[in-house]
Amino acid sequence: MKDEDLLRYLDGELSPREAREIEAALAGSAEARRKLEAMRQLREMVAARIEAEVDDAEEQLEASWRKIAAALPEPRRPGPWGRVRDWFEAYRGHVLTGALAAAAGALLALAVHPGRIAASPSGSPEAAVVESLEVSDGSGTILQIPSGDGDSPVTTVIWLTPDTSEDAPI
Amino acid sequence: MMTVAKGVVVVALVLGAARAHAQTAQCVVTEIVASSDKKGLDPRLERLKAKLVRPPFSAWDTFVLVGEQSVSAERLKPATAPLTQGTLTLLYKDKMAAQGGRARLRFGVDLDNKQGRRSVSTVVAFDAGDPLLIAGEPVKGGTYILALGCTAP
Amino acid sequence: MNKARERPSIQQDDDDDADAALIERCRAGDHHAFRTVFERYQRRAYALAFGIVRNRDEALDVVQEAFLKAFRSVAGFAGNASIYTWLYRIVMNVAIDHKRKDAREQKVDYDDTIAHLEEETSSGAAELSPQLLRGDPAKETSRREIREKIDDALARLSDNHRAVLVMREIDGLSYDEMAKVMKCSKGTIMSRLFHARRNMQRHLLDMLGPDGDEVVS
């Protein structure tokens, strides 16, 4: 049995068949067993020494993050879908989703009585009210966003998210 | 008697006229493609600028008008209009009591894709003149936005 | 004391999936995601860095520089390697660069082939020794003298030998993974590991004594 095979056995790099062959050889060789044990001892020593060093340096290692963070470039402005995603969270007043399983071929309609929709953030004039929404091959989200337009301070947007969209905000 | 009769006739005529007007709504359908091509707002979309500079549309920097048309919708009768991405069907359902000086209109809005398959069906109540936006469908060159604004005199 | 980590394949798949999601967020410039990457791999990166440069301050510098390099180059990470082999490669390269720049280090880093031949010629034997070390040194690494002797033995290895030893004995990287990190063949990794262990064993036997000999009081 070669020392290389012994080390491959120690490192779990042998196939099950090869491992069984080595085990059979080990059973018949005290010297091979001592070599294996010596390698295990070496492993434990090196591992213990390095781990001890990592433990000792842990506090300084944690502090390294501050230096790294300080040197990181400014976060890039997210792309369009990233920004849309962020605003969805802020302005999703009431969500109606009509998700359709294309295979099922059925439309899921969620009807909401106007009275249950939250009042527009600005108060008056009143924002558009989506009474029902059915969306096939995707989902729809209703957004009510302050528009800064004096005539219609709140804009109602029905946002469609196709099922195939990898960048879907929702 | 005559005066009364005339008055009645006049009232009837006025009511009839109001009812006739309320039977038809006029809608402007605007089709927009939003993208990040750094070309700004199409000048023809100036009236929608206040809405397009706000989130979520502020995620894009280019807005191009790809279609605009007027559609007359007679009450309770479907009115269809071709779109660049398919077909729009409007069903003017009702005109409700005015709030803050503006009428509230109730519409059914259906969008069919180019293959004729219904993609969106919604019933919305909105103030006359206040555009409703339906957006998000990816199209060639960007993201599709449909703006629908209706009045019913 | 931690034994060499053996990662079950299922856990590895879960880790890889989580890492892939993190990398995507890092690509988008998400600092929080990068912090998570740092927390996940800081100890292992430090272990490898220390294993090569053998100096705490330098190892900390290596870790900082390596993570910054990783963040800047994450866009180019194709995802065709696991994140830690990619990261380890960066740590390895930065650590080796540090050593080369270190003016105090006069010793030439031998080509592995030459080092192996020299060792084999001088010792006359290329085999592992069946001799165990005296006592249980692994349990005694807290003792300063034991630590120093292990450090001395490690110092006498080449950088490449120390690197494979750390990656294998601390992190349990497979030969294939180490080959990706060091951009060499699996056969080279096996050779380096064999020589690293054999040389380490020889140095330790010299310093600590084999089982049955009284060398360290």
Give tens-digit pLDDT for A93-133. Answer: 444 444 333 333 333 333 333 333 333 333 345 788 888 88
Single residue among A21, A44, A71 that ends a domain in this structure: A71
The answer to whether residue A117 sits within a structural domain is yes
Radius of gyration over alpha carbons of chain B, in Å? 19
Does any CB of chain B come closer than 8 Å to the CB of residue A125? yes
**What letter represents residue C47's amino acid?**
A
DSSP C210: B
Do A85 and A155 reside in the same domain of the chain? yes
A130, part of any domain? yes
CB A133 within 8 A of CB A72: no
Residue A147 lies in a domain: yes
Q: What type of residue sits at position B77?
A: K
Question: What distance in Å separates the CA atoms of residue C3 and residue C138, rounded to the nearest whole number?
Answer: 11
- Residue A78, pLDDT score: 56
- Pair (A150, A86) in one structural domain: yes
Q: Name the more confident of B78 and A170.
A: B78
For residue A81, the distance in angstroms to the closest alpha carbon of chain B comes to 7
The angle subtended at Cα B54 by Cα B50 and Cα B55, nearest 5°, is 155
| Strand A154-162 with A138-146, pairing | antiparallel
Q: Across the interface, do A49 and C59 touch by the CB < 8 Å criterion?
A: no
Residues of chain A in contact with residue C137, where contact means CB-CB under 8 angstroms, are: 41, 45
Instruction: List chain A residues with CB under 8 Å of B60.
Output: 80
Q: What's residue C20's pLDDT?
A: 76
C9-101 CATH, one of 1.10.1740.10, 3.40.50.300, 3.30.420.40, 3.30.70.20:
1.10.1740.10
Q: Is residue A98 located within the same domain as residue A24?
A: no
> Mutate which of A134, A139, A155, A166 to test chain B, going by most B C-beta atoms within 10 A?
A155
Do A59 and A97 reside in the same domain of the chain? no
Q: What is the pLDDT of residue C53?
A: 92
Please state the rounded mean pLDDT for residues A26-30. Answer: 93
Backbone angles phi, psi at C173, to 5 degrees: -65, 145
Of residues C164 and B5, the one with the higher pLDDT is C164
Are residues A90 and A55 part of one domain? no
Mean of pLDDT over chain A: 72
Instruction: Indicate the residue among A71, A99, A118 that finishes a domain.
Output: A71
pLDDT in tens, B100-117: 667 889 999 999 998 888
CA distance C204 to C217: 15
Residue A35 domain flag: yes
A119 Cβ under 8 Å from any chain B Cβ:
no
In the predicted structure, residue A48 carries a pLDDT above the cut 50: yes
Q: Of B93, B132, B124, B105, which Cα lies nearest the Cα of A131?
A: B124
Is residue A167 situated within a structural domain?
A: no
> What sign for the dihedral angle of Cα B120, B126, B131, B135?
negative
ipTM of the prediction: 0.84
Cα–Cα nearest to C92, from C184, C8, C25: C184
Beta strands (DSSP E) in chain A are 110-111, 129-135, 138-146, 154-162
**Confidence (pLDDT) at C59:** 95
CA C160/CA A17 separation, integer angstroms: 31
Of A164 and C82, the structure prediction assigns the larger pLDDT to C82
Place of tokens 């001892």: A41
User: Are A125 and A88 members of one domain?
Assistant: yes
The predicted pLDDT at position B79 comes to: 93
* Domains held by chain A: number: 2
Whether residues A67 and A106 fall in one domain: no
Residues A61 and A113 in one domain: no
pLDDT given at position B103:
85
Residues in B touching A156 (Cβ below 8 Å): 124, 126, 132-133
Last residue of a domain, one of A41, A71, A101: A71
Say yes or no to pLDDT of C55 above 60: yes
Interface size A-C, in CB pairs within 8 Å, comes to 155
Q: What integer is the mean pLDDT of C75-89?
A: 80
Q: Which residues of chain B have pLDDT under 70?
A: 1-22, 97-101
Residues A108 and A137 both lie in one domain: yes
Smallest CA-to-CA distance from C131 within C190, C215, C192, C191 is with C215
Q: Do A98 and A156 share a domain, yes or no?
A: yes
B137 lies within 8 A of chain A by CB = yes
Least confident span in A65-74, C8-17, C181-190: C8-17
Q: Going by DSSP bridges, is the β-strand pair A138-146/B118-127 parallel, antiparallel, or unpaired?
A: unpaired
Phi, psi (rounded to 5 degrees) for C108: -85, 135
- Residue C164's pLDDT band, with cuts at 50, 70 and 90, is very high
pLDDT at residue C205 above 90? no
The answer on A67 and A102 residing in a single domain is no
DSSP bridge partners of B139: B142
Which CATH class for the C112-208 domain?
Answer: mainly alpha
Q: Is C77 helix (H, G, I), strand (E, B) or coil?
A: coil
Least confident of A12-16, A161-165, C21-25: A161-165
CB atoms within 10 A of CB B80: 13
Lowest-confidence region among A13-17, B19-23, B25-29, C17-21: B19-23
Q: How far apart are the first and last CA of chain C?
A: 24
pLDDT tens for each residue of C165-196: 999 998 889 999 999 899 899 999 999 999 99
Name the nearest CA neighbour of A87 among C62, C179, C130, B55. Answer: B55
The two structure tokens encoding residue C28? 């988008």
Please report how many Cα atoms fall inside a 13 Å half-sphere around the Cα of residue A6, on the Cβ side.
24
Residue-range definition of the domain harbouring residue A144: 80-162
Q: Which segments of chain C belong to CATH 1.10.1740.10?
A: 9-101
In the sheet with A154-162, reading across from the earlier edge strand, the strands are A138-146, A154-162, B132-139, B142-151, B24-35, B62-74, B40-41
pLDDT for the residue B86: 93
- The reply to whether residue B59 touches residue A81, judged by beta carbons under 8 angstroms, is yes
Structure tokens belonging to residue A170:
């929702």
Query: Given strand B102-113, what is the order of strands in its sheet?
Result: A110-111, A129-135, B118-127, B102-113, B86-99, B79-83
pLDDT score of C215 more than 80: no
- H/E segment holding residue B151: strand B142-151
What number of other Cβ atoms are within 10 A of residue C108's Cβ?
8
> Largest Cα–Cα distance in chain C?
60
Q: Using CA coordinates, name the residue in chain A closest to C127.
A: A3
Collapsing DSSP to helix, strand or coil, B138 comes out as strand
State the pLDDT at residue C76: 75
Distance from CA of C151 to the nearest CA of A (A): 8
pLDDT of the residue at B5: 42
- Identity at A86, one-letter amino acid code: D
Of C2, C47, C130, the CB nearest to A38: C130
A88 and A62 co-located in one domain: no
Please identify which residue in the block is written with the tokens 């059979």.
A24
3-class DSSP state for residue B97?
strand
